[in-house]
A and B are shown apart, each in its own frame.
Chain A
Amino acid sequence: MINTSTFLCILRRSTVAGAVVAAAVVVGPASANKDPVTPKQLKLYQEAFMEEVRKGDLLFHGDAAMAEQLGVKLSTTGWACAMCHPMASDTHPHAFPKFQQSMAKFATLRDMINWCIEKPNQGEKIDPESEAMKALEAYITWSNTGSVLVPGKY
């Protein structure tokens, strides 16, 4: 015997499941995320990530060729991110988003990256959606692998 609340629950689940299937049909190939992941796929995903980490590492350490390749000017003073943040220490990606005293606003890691580019480095702010920003974010977060999330912590 099915009571009213159980019936509503089943209905909700059916609706959600239907929406997910529909989304997969609309936005991706029909087979996406249906098959068990293969070691080959995992390797590709990891390589795609580490390639961004590598690019971000080079940007973070002031590599001129990588900055040129990605069309950014992160510094005009010779200063690079790594000069205050060796091994991306003291960047605290696990503490964002938070109120950032230096900007006097609630900020994301991307906001903070741009602040450092503009202020200490005296470079040119970059598009938050650019590859350079994503690469910097990849490098900074990868460098802090294992740090425990403490969002909002000063």
Chain B
Amino acid sequence: MSDELDRIRREMHAVLQPPGVRPDDSLQITRRTFIHRSLLFGAASVGQTFAWWPLLNTIDVAHAAEAPFKFAWISDTHLYERSLNTRFVDKVVRAVQEVQAMDPPADFLIFGGDLAQLGKIEELELGVELLKDLKIKKYYIPGEHDWYLDMGKKWGELFGQPNWTFDHKGVRFIGLDTVSRGPDYWTAKKMTPEERMGHMATLDGTVAGAWAGVGREQLDWMQKTLAEWDKSKPIVIFSHNPLYEYYPPWNFWVRDWREVNDVLKPYTKVTNIHGHVHQVLYNEIGSMRSIGMLATSWPWPYAPEGVPKLTKPMIRVDPGDPFDGVGWETVNVNADDKVDVEYIMWGRKEVFVRSPEDHDKSIEEVIQPRIADRQYPWENP
């Protein structure tokens, strides 16, 4: 870990995890959790290596459900036009069919952003067309790939306000827009909308900078939205980016995580569900639990550094199988007031690593940031 990242991590830890502060500890054991525990006991050394505690999938939202219910999550479909890439289309079709087939049915779907790859009208409309086959209520939050071609114009026409809130069976749900407040890197360099989008669509680019953030006015809105909400009642917050700091060079964070934490601090049962990372991820920040979801399009490798210690990593995927390492999720709110997130990873039954060699970081690497976008074409106008 670099000195700078180490300093930031220490600061984040000091700010967010003073002694005694963590999400409500009434974590209850489900069938799925038992499976993980048995693995833990069976492979203690592996457990130590990857810090398999607490267990990934079960999130307590005690006193949540007035009745049990499920909802589904799909995100990061990154659709190109149909004529260019049919694999990504096939995977959305499969996810939609599987969500539609859920029995009992999901109460609603959250689409967690990056419907399109390059923000094109055709891509966004293709997404709408594919998701139309899903008959349940759908809620959308934007991803950066949806936004930076026309600065959210088409996305807004299709899906409306990017941030929203609703209550469902005793849980307050909030959708956040973490993508639209990027710093203006395009005006001074007179970029075309396509160039602006191209830099935003490059995860490891250096030009778009620290674009992920919640923003002051949205934080104020969230504070107002939660003002009357009982501090011990559950809140589920959806965001494209994780609401903590994992790896800023890939915007696996929001830059104003300190302010987000200030707003959420009084509430004891907060769950953040996010996309963008295309990987299994779990973290606890203050009183909030945070869960990363799979993409349907492709899996990102874990970042070179900064993977939360609480994450039980997903298995290293087979690059020859387009359906491996990707999928969707069900979130099941049980009758006994627990929320159980289930990863539906196509291509294999076992989602998590079983041995260090099955982790994509089993080969240690030192990685340099990208160079060409710092040199070309901006230094040679």
Taking Cβ atoms with an 8 Å cutoff, the residues of A that contact B are 50, 53-54, 57-58, 61, 63, 77-79, 82-90, 92, 94-95, 102, 116, 119-120, 142-148, 150, 153-154
Contacts and interface: CB of A to CB of B under 8 A. Distances in A.
A86 B365 contact: no
| Residues of A contacting B: mostly | loop
A80 to B, nearest CB: 9
A53 B371 contact: yes
A84 B300 CA distance: 6
Contact of B366 (A54, A84, A146): A146
Interface bracket on B? 35 or more
Interface in B274-308: 298-301, 303-304
B370 A90 contact: no
B211 to A, nearest CB: 15
Given A79-B85, A102-B319, A116-B319, A87 B369 contact: yes
A61 B367 contact: no
B187 interface: no
A63 B371 CA distance: 14
A119 B300 CA distance: 17
A114 to B, nearest CB: 13
Interface of B: 80, 84-85, 87, 117, 202-204, 249-250, 298-301, 303-304, 318-320, 322, 357, 360, 362-373, 375-376
A82 B376 contact: no
Contacts of B84: 77-78
Contacts of A82: 202-204
B304 A102 contact: no
Contacts, number: 98
B79 to A, nearest CB: 10
19 contacts: A54-B376, A61-B370, A61-B372, A82-B203, A82-B204, A84-B298, A84-B300, A84-B301, A84-B319, A87-B369, A120-B320, A144-B366, A144-B368, A145-B368, A146-B366, A146-B368, A147-B366, A150-B364, A154-B363
A142 B376 contact: no
B364 A148 contact: yes
Contact of A144 (B299, B365, B369, B376): B365
B360 A90 contact: yes
A81 to B, nearest CB: 11
Given A94-B365, A120-B319, A147-B364, A58 B80 contact: no
Given A84-B301, A92-B363, A119-B320, A54 B375 contact: yes
Given A61-B202, A145-B366, A86 B301 contact: yes
B363 A88 contact: no
List the 10 shortest-distance A-B pairs measured between CB atoms, nearest first: A146-B366, A86-B204, A57-B372, A90-B301, A78-B80, A87-B204, A77-B85, A86-B203, A87-B367, A147-B366
Contact of A89 (B87, B322, B367, B373): B367
